[in-house]
Amino acid sequence: MTTRPIAVVGASAAGLAAAEALRRGGWRGPLTLIGAEPHLPYDRPPLSKQLLHGAWEPDRLRLRTEDQLAPLDLDLRLGTRATGLDVATRTLTLDGGEQFGCAGVIIATGVAARTLPGADRIAGVHTLRTLDEALALRARLAGGGRRLVVVGNGVLGCEAAAVARELGHEVTLVGIEETPMAAAVGTEVGALLAAEHRARGVRLRTGVVDGFETAPADPAGTGAPRVTAVRLANGGTPASEGVATGGGGGGASRLPADLVLLAIGSRPAVEWLADPALDTTDGLRCDAYCAAAPGIYAAGDVARWDHPVHGRPLRFEHRMNATEQGMAAARNLLAELAEAATVPAAPGAGDDAPTQERRPFAPVPYFWSDQYDLKLQAYGLTAGADRVEATVLDRAERRLLALYGRDGRAVGVLAAGLPPRQLRALRAVIATPLPWEEARERIGAATAAG
């Protein structure tokens, strides 16, 4: 009988990590890797930094070359979308109508960029999630001297604004929240970032986008009307030095623009998962083992799983988590299949092969953000904190430290300008939530020297 394949849906960092872990773990049966984009798996964080800046070319983003993928013996389906999954039979449907049953499925479809109504019909309005989108925006930024409005002052918007400013463009950064990256790092650290952007010449505005103004299409262009301005509802308001300023005056205001980047967040790519056996509320709901259903696992930005240390479901859109969770999902799927005696044995494996057991996925979350020459690094959970204590250790050297708490316990820490030894010490402190004062003392001890 022919062994059914394991299918990994999403040729992303998480999907590639899962595929490689499946082979390392002993899966010798068919292995299908499905990717909606036509490109080999590539790294996404550089899209808004090195690639957009022009310092890197697309080939440098590849996670593996064709030669490096060859030993995996993949059935590689690039430029192909999965359109359905029957949970009971583990049957995948692809956009060409093909259906095939699987021994197991790992879903790593990530997220898609949010946009605004009608934006896709206006030349000069961009999103930035895929390689093709990043290259399109980079081409428009070539040469300098353009007026760029970045809508959304989260991590992506701030990083892209920094790159565009370094390239010599006039940049306006617009957010619903008063403080840049407040949802991710809190208002205290956000205020320091705001000061950094202002010092570099970025204009900060607070407001809700009400629409776009356009001009007739360039006859030599795409035929679509081109953007000339962004309208803010109720006039918007200049972002203040960390103090909310309200909604501004009546009537809409306009921000002249040659280009617009919509960096207004993302949505988990779960629209193709219509089977009622799956919970797709804010991502694909999984247990602590990354399992959404028997034989069906998820990894990366799309997965919302029960974190055993923090005791609640988390969905974490950051690069390190994608790789770690891809490997964890693969290991746990293989353990489940081994228990059901469906894993084809690796060459030479006998009755003395080590027993595989599923293990909960309990990482210490980590993310970083590069803006100008400032590198933020964070461990644990910084979003959703009910207590934040931020300290500027050395303003001239841009050294800062912030501790984040929730329900009386320290759950996250963020730093900039600290040496690697101290960063490792911070990670160790925050690996398990501690009472606030105990964590505060240990953080102080870890950063006291050097």
Class of domain 373-448: alpha beta
88 CB-near residues (< 8 Å, 6+ apart): 277
Rounded CA-CA distance 9/76 in Å is 11
Rounded CA-CA distance 235/294 in Å is 52
pTM for this prediction: 0.91
For every one of its 450 residues, what pLDDT tens digit does the chain have, with 9 covering 90 and above?
Answer: 458 999 999 999 999 999 999 999 999 999 999 999 999 999 999 999 999 999 999 999 999 999 999 999 999 999 999 999 999 999 999 999 999 999 999 999 999 999 999 999 999 999 999 999 999 999 999 987 899 999 999 999 999 999 999 999 999 999 999 999 999 999 999 999 999 999 999 999 999 999 999 999 766 666 889 999 999 997 677 775 432 223 334 456 999 999 999 999 999 999 999 999 999 999 999 999 999 999 999 999 999 999 999 999 999 999 999 999 999 999 999 999 998 865 554 443 333 334 579 999 999 999 999 999 999 999 999 999 999 999 887 877 788 999 999 999 999 999 999 988 898 899 999 999 999 999 999 998 888 765
Rounded CA-CA distance 175/206 in Å is 5
Rounded CA-CA distance 442/89 in Å is 51
Task: Give the pLDDT score at 397.
Answer: 79
Main-chain dihedrals φ then ψ at residue 140, nearest 5 degrees: -75, -25
Rounded CA-CA distance 242/197 in Å is 13
Instruction: Give the pair of three-digit tokens for residue 276.
Output: 């009622």
Instruction: Give the pair of three-digit tokens for residue 111.
Output: 């997220």
DSSP class per residue in 314-379 = E----HHHHHHHHHHHHHHHHHHHHHTT-SPPPTT--TTSPPP---------EEEEEETTEEEEEE
Phi-psi map region of 377: left, alpha, beta (phi>0 left; psi -120 to 50 alpha):
beta
- Location of each CATH 3.50.50.60 domain in the chain: 6-112+266-339, 115-262
390 CB-near residues (< 8 Å, 6+ apart): 186, 188, 189, 192, 400, 401, 402, 403
Tokens 């999403």 label which residue? Answer: 10
CATH 3.50.50.60 fits 6-112+266-339, yes or no: yes
CB 41 within 8 A of CB 63: yes
CB 391 within 8 A of CB 415: no
83: helix, strand or coil = strand
Task: Give the pLDDT score at 354.
Answer: 44
What angle is formed at CA 276 by the lines to CA 274 and CA 280, rounded to 5 degrees?
65
Task: Give the pLDDT score at 236.
Answer: 72
Domain topology for 115-262: FAD/NAD(P)-binding domain (3.50.50)
Rounded CA-CA distance 267/172 in Å is 24
- Location of each CATH 3.30.390.30 domain in the chain: 373-448
CB 148 within 8 A of CB 258: yes
